[in-house]
Chain A
Amino acid sequence: MNTSETNASEPPQPSRRWVNVLLGSGVLGSIASFLYPAFKYIIPPLVPESTSRSVVAAKAAELKRNSSKIFQFGSKPALLVRTADDQFKALSAVCTHLSCTVQYREDLHQVWCACHNGLYDVSGRNISGPPPRPLEEFEVHVQGEDVVVSRKA
């Protein structure tokens, strides 16, 4: 019988096994340390949310009754509606379903999302279609000419 073959089929000596474990974990550790920066790199640095709590959304004269305007609030679009009975309503314009930008439908007097046919009332309540939650509603103050929209406290 070939002696070298017999040796190969025997379990490795304990010292040999330790060398394998040490070498192996060293190599694995080094590979992890190579991959870690790459994984961190692909996630972009967080941009801090805009802290502004209020914004001038429009001039009051700009909007007729039963019309609307999209304005920028922080980094996201928001919707200012002047209802048919002359109230100002401000809502987040980001649909709670899959985050399309909603619009005010003058024919329906409701807020509509074109992407998947979601409907909200002018206070942001989801009334039909797939949206799971209401739109966030903001406070509106008319200060002279300016329509000021602010987050609820």
Chain B
Amino acid sequence: MDTLYRRLMNWLDERFGAGSIEEFLRHKIIPLHRHTIWYYFGGMTMFLFVVQVLTGILLLLYYRPTPNDAFESVQYVMTQVRFGWLIRSVHSWSANLMIFTAFVHMFSVYFLKAYRKPRELTWVTGMFLLVVVLCFGFTGYLLPWNTLAYFATKVGTQMAGSVPLVGKWLLIYLRGGEEVTGATLTRFFGFHVAVLPGLTTVLLALHLLLVQRLGMSVPPGVERRIAEGRETARSMPFFPNFLLRDMMGWYAALGVLGALAAIFPWELGAKADPFAPAPAGIRPEWYFLFMFQTLKLLPPKVLFLDGEFAGILAFSLAGVFWVAIPFIDRKVGFGRVTRFFTGLGVFAIGYMVVMSALVFR
């Protein structure tokens, strides 16, 4: 077996130098210290993304993206197609878990200061991936064409419409017209299954290339203890040692997904009716709740700005700031932690949790 593999590698190596690629893949090591557990979340997010791609392709076999057919086709998947309920529920659950693990990954990188030089661009590509993932969530939410999705899309696109100057243009671009209609559904479908997967492929390739090239970041605190001789630097090869541990996690995740899908199959709700009032208790997916609650609490006017625009402006600026963190937090470095930015991260999480909790008051 091993010799067969060696012979195949030699054959490829003679043709295009495959050995150097193998070497590139093998050189990554995983530092072992008390924060090593956080290294699992990036790989977990990527695994859940693969689940999304595969279940998404399966859903494409039956889904029809028109206002007359969309709801019925999802209903058909849920009730008629064998294991359709499982595939759709896994797709929905995996989407939510993926957003959760992506946030855990992002915040762990943030608190362990892994964005510091030379990994600024890894952070930036990761933040773009997070935005793309949220866009996946927003566009995918509309596809079953139910009431909740209809109004969530109406509100979400209206928010884009309140941006000065380009707002109107943006709103028409997103909706495919002035209103949320079948044209919006067609567009969102296109974004969800073509544009966003394409973007993800490019960004993910860059992200992984950077991770592979730069290796794993060791947190400044651990770096200092190693330098002071209070801790010895330990590590394990990524391939195959850490990857096998990753795969154990993925296997467990598949089990959790199957269990969630079987015990809590994803609801479909009622078909969207553009001429029905928004139902009581309407709210977006959990990962947008903190923004939703903020918009609810903002008064009609903040200074001279419309309330909703002030909120959107604040969130946009916060987002840009967050992407630029590696270029703002310049003092962080070897063995040195910048407490202000750690505090900022705690505040960000606190804000998101408290605001989300207020929705359920």
Q: What residues of chain A have their CB less than 8 Å away from a CB belonging to chain B?
A: 42-44, 47, 70-72, 75-77, 79, 93, 97-103, 113-117, 126, 129-132
Contact indicator per residue, chain B 258-297, by CB within 8 Å of chain A (1) or not (0): 0000000000000000111111111000000000100110
Say whether B306 faces chain A, with CB atoms less than 8 Å apart. yes
Q: Are B298 and A100 in contact (CB under 8 A)?
A: no
CB distance from A52 to the nearest CB of B (A): 16
Q: Are B172 and A102 in contact (CB under 8 A)?
A: no
Q: Are B282 and A126 in contact (CB under 8 A)?
A: no
In the complex, residue of chain B having the shortest beta-carbon distance to the beta carbon of A99: B158
Once bound together, how far apart are the Cα atoms of A71 and B277, in whole Å? 10
Once bound together, how far apart are the Cα atoms of A101 and B169, in whole Å? 22
Task: Provide the residues of chain A in CB contact with B159, threshold 8 Å.
Answer: 98
Q: Are B178 and A47 in contact (CB under 8 A)?
A: yes
| Size bracket, chain B contacts | 20 to 34
What are the 7 tightest A-B residue pairs by CB atom distance, in nearest-first order? Answer: A103-B277, A132-B300, A100-B278, A114-B278, A98-B158, A98-B155, A116-B296
Given contacts A77-B275, A114-B279, contact A101 B151 (CB under 8 A): yes
- Is the contact region of chain A dominated by helix, strand, or loop, or is it mixed? loop
CB distance from B252 to the nearest CB of A (A): 38
Say whether B335 faces chain A, with CB atoms less than 8 Å apart. no
In the complex, residue of chain A having the shortest beta-carbon distance to the beta carbon of B172: A43
Once bound together, how far apart are the Cα atoms of A98 and B300, in whole Å? 11
Once bound together, how far apart are the Cα atoms of A1 and B145, in whole Å? 73
Task: Provide the residues of chain A in CB contact with B177, threshold 8 Å.
Answer: 44, 47
Residue from A44, A113, A130, A131 within 8 A of B278 (CB atoms): A113
Residue from A93, A115, A129, A132 within 8 A of B151 (CB atoms): A115
A103, A113, A117, A132 pick with most chain B CB within 10 angstroms? A132
Q: Are A114 and B307 in contact (CB under 8 A)?
A: no
In the complex, residue of chain B having the shortest beta-carbon distance to the beta carbon of A105: B280
Given contacts A75-B179, A101-B151, contact A44 B277 (CB under 8 A): no
Task: Provide the residues of chain A in CB contact with B253, threshold 8 Å.
Answer: none
Once bound together, how far apart are the Cα atoms of A7 and B282, in whole Å? 71
Q: Are A70 and B300 in contact (CB under 8 A)?
A: no
In the complex, residue of chain A having the shortest beta-carbon distance to the beta carbon of B183: A44
Residue from A44, A72, A75, A115 within 8 A of B155 (CB atoms): A115
